[in-house]
Chain A
Amino acid sequence: MSERVKPRKHRMSRLERKNTLIAYSFLAPNFLGFAIFTLIPVILSVVMSFTEWKGGSLTTMKWVGWDNYATIFNTAKVGKQMAENGFLAGINYFFSKVDLGISLKNTVFFTVVTVPLSLICAVMLALVLNHSVKGSVGFRAVLFFPYVASMVAICVCWNFMLMKNGPVNQMLMFFGSSFNKSWTADSKMAMWAIVLVSVWRNMGYYMVIYLAALQGVPRELYEAATVDGANKWQQFLNVTLPQLRPTTFFASIMLIIGCFKIYDTVAIMTNGGPGRATKMLVLYIYNEAFTNFNYGVASAIAMILLVIVLLVTILQFSMENRYSNN
């Protein structure tokens, strides 16, 4: 009974503490593994981005401050361009000549195109296949297939599909296209080849997520909407879409991260070529780390990626929070 006498504020904080403890007990099993095997190494790589390290034992790391960042931004050259030809010339130099600028530009372009395309395809397929269309089991399995297959085999297959005289070009020619080159050997089409394969692979994957999410939409909401006289389209806009919001939040973040981290497809299909037309951030990281053995530089590039993704995530996060508060 003594609890009642205590001031309200104190009691709340005690409850809070208890809740926090319960929450931590939920988190602990996963968080312990996560912290040891992922978080600590990631923090180490943050530190690594300020060091020069050639491999060897961790004690041979040499602190170099912002040097690695200066290297990847090529501040000397870009600065010189800015000083001589103005700010814009410097920016232009960065995005057309410097490895980081080029791979950043390529990666952002790839992400901006691939994310919406994948999302739209995934939602549409999920909506169609959520209804008991005849054969939906078969369709779902078929559409998920690309995700299941091993990347090595898949990329070789697609490279062949997209060759000069391959089936895709022949089909396009039938529709009046005059493009007559292997996609991966053309500076512009190589990027689209990677977009194509990525969307092809993503759409089934995110379709499955949306299918699962659609199971969670309470049917009562549709019933209520029907009673209110909403047509199908209105139902979609006012019931389905808002209910899919957490999933879309998840899907778009995972897609953006996935696109920013694209590696396998590029490494196997184009290896960044022709020239540097499809050079992406992670390919750049990989080469710096395991071809040139500049682990510090590789980590610095990874930090750029981390910062971008975190900014995008926080933005989306706050948008989601604002929405759920409304």
Chain B
Amino acid sequence: MKKAIAMLLAAVMLFAMTSFSFAEGNKVLTIVAWDANTTGYLIAQKEAYEASHPGVTIEYIDVSSQDYDTKVAAMLAGGDTSDIYMVKDIPALLNWYEAGYTLNLNDYMKKANYDVSGFVGMEVNYAMNGEQIALPFRSDFEILFYNKDLFDAAGVAYPTNDMSWEEYKEKALKVADPSKDIYGTHYHTWLSTAVNYTVADGVNTLIDGEYSDLAYFYQIIQDLEDAQACMPYSEISAAGLHYSGAFGNGNIAMMPMGYWYVATLITNIKDGAYKVKNWGLASMPTKEGVAAGSTFGNLTGVMINKASAQQDLAWDYIAWLCGEEGAKVTAGAGNRPAWVSEGVADVMSSIDGFPTDEGSKAALLPTYVAIEIPGTALSSQISSILGEEHSAIMTREITIEEGIANMNERVQELLQK
């Protein structure tokens, strides 16, 4: 009798297990992301993962990119159970961590013996108090885009991967032709594209409360503006001019921008929406004493929601996404994955529409990438202050010296608290 019951129990258990695996057959993984339906790499990642993992469907929840942090703050506070959230910036991630929404990935990583070597150390920016709370899948660094046709027309040599800032400035002045509306370079309105290069030396940071090192870069911009070699900030910001259209218009010779712009550029040239045709990439210029190929960059990553009901599956996905396989898919969509290897770099440079010259290929591998702004409890407040003073300096409402004095005073006051 006992045996019969045991057999029955076993049968029931077996049945339950098989039916469980049936249910597993159509699992849906929900990922909160921005611009989900139009971003090339998100579409490619979804397709690739679903193809190699039958039975799992990825569903994106699309949030406006401008209001991503606001909306996500509300969703998480309301107890949202979406499995994975994309991480847009580090201060927001830090807040999610403090509010207790992020899953500690240490155990998963240990169990899977997860290889982090491909991140070349960048993943530490997502670690708080020894907990890895997110993994990066995209790592964009600042790089110099240039319009080959404008350099050819002006008879100036293309930018190289070992330029100094003086050489860069000289080139911008030479190529510029105000009478024809041709600009030597273009600065978007952000603080980062203007002066963040100071951190490329690995010593300076934007959170130390000392900003005299920014003056060098502000001075270059003001000189270039005065010579009409770049559009003045005040007009770019007033018009809300987007850098993509600006460079696309074909009258800008150089533009420092994050690597992500490669994908936008290639797509729009293919669609015929841009006037620019032949373009190349060069490493960002460097100051004297800083190794050529040094630049700054930022991460885009994924975190697992503590309230998710399928954390194992979510881990399986992010492990794939951030590892080499996922990296190749991301690279194939024209983006720079956080995981880099030779195989990945090959994929990056072999996509259709990527410049074929050696210099552009070499620029894909920076020698050093500093984090744009490190994540601390005060990072977002500091960047608000810097942003405010930045706009005052760039509109010339105050001098560079006054602006920097303000930055120093205000940030130091914040740090003292």
Which A residues fall within an 8 A CB radius of B? Answer: 54-57, 60, 77, 156, 159-160, 162-164, 181-187, 271-277, 279, 287, 290-293
Contact = CB atoms under 8 A, between A and B. Distances in A.
B212 interface: no
24 contacts: A54-B98, A55-B73, A55-B95, A55-B101, A56-B100, A56-B101, A156-B240, A159-B239, A163-B235, A163-B238, A164-B234, A164-B238, A182-B235, A185-B233, A185-B235, A185-B237, A273-B388, A273-B391, A275-B398, A290-B73, A291-B91, A292-B91, A293-B73, A293-B92
Contact of B234 (A54, A57, A182, A272): A182
B237 A184 contact: yes
Contact of A287 (B98, B384, B395): B384
Given A163-B238, A287-B384, A291-B380, 20 more contacts: A55-B76, A55-B96, A55-B101, A56-B98, A56-B101, A60-B100, A162-B238, A185-B234, A187-B392, A271-B391, A273-B237, A274-B394, A274-B395, A274-B397, A275-B397, A279-B388, A291-B384, A292-B381, A293-B99, A293-B380
B388 A181 contact: no
Contacts of A160: 238-239
Interface in B89-106: 91-92, 95-96, 98-101
Nearest to A293: B95
Given A273-B388, A275-B388, A275-B392, A56 B99 contact: yes
Nearest to A181: B234
Interface string B374-417: 00000011001000110110110110000000000000010000
B77 interface: yes
A264 to B, nearest CB: 13
B70 interface: yes
B169 to A, nearest CB: 23
Interface residues of B, number: 33
* Most chain B CB atoms below 10 A, which of A54, A159, A163, A186: A54
Interface in B73-91: 73, 76-77, 79, 91
Contacts, number: 96
B69 interface: yes
A76 B73 CA distance: 31
Interface of B: 69-70, 73, 76-77, 79, 91-92, 95-96, 98-101, 233-235, 237-240, 380-381, 384, 388-389, 391-392, 394-395, 397-398, 413
A156 B70 CA distance: 22
Contacts of A156: 240
B235 A292 contact: no
Contact of B77 (A55, A276, A279): A55
A160 B239 CA distance: 5
Please report whether the interface of chain B is mostly helix, strand, loop or mixed according to DSSP: helix
Nearest to B76: A55
A160 B238 CA distance: 7
Contacts of B397: 185-187, 274-275, 277
* Most chain B CB atoms below 10 A, which of A60, A184, A291: A291
Nearest to A188: B397
A293 B98 CA distance: 10
Nearest to B79: A57
* Most chain B CB atoms below 10 A, which of A57, A163, A274, A276: A274
Q: Considering the complex of A and B, which 6 residue pairs feature the smallest CB-CB distances, nearest first? A: A185-B234, A275-B392, A273-B391, A182-B238, A56-B99, A55-B99
B389 A164 contact: no
Given A55-B76, A77-B413, A272-B388, A184 B99 contact: no
Contacts of A184: 234, 237-238
A60 B99 CA distance: 8
Contacts of B395: 185-187, 273-274
Contacts of B235: 163-164, 182, 185
Contacts of A163: 235, 238-239
Contact of A159 (B73, B95, B98, B240): B240
A184 B91 CA distance: 29
Given A164-B234, A275-B388, A290 B69 contact: yes
B137 to A, nearest CB: 24
Contacts of A290: 69-70, 73
B80 to A, nearest CB: 12
Contacts of A291: 69, 91, 380, 384
B266 to A, nearest CB: 27
B391 A275 contact: yes
A56 B76 CA distance: 7
Contacts of A274: 391-392, 394-395, 397
Contacts of A276: 388, 392
B390 to A, nearest CB: 9
Contacts of B91: 291-292
A183 B100 contact: no
A161 to B, nearest CB: 10
Contacts of B234: 164, 181-182, 184-186
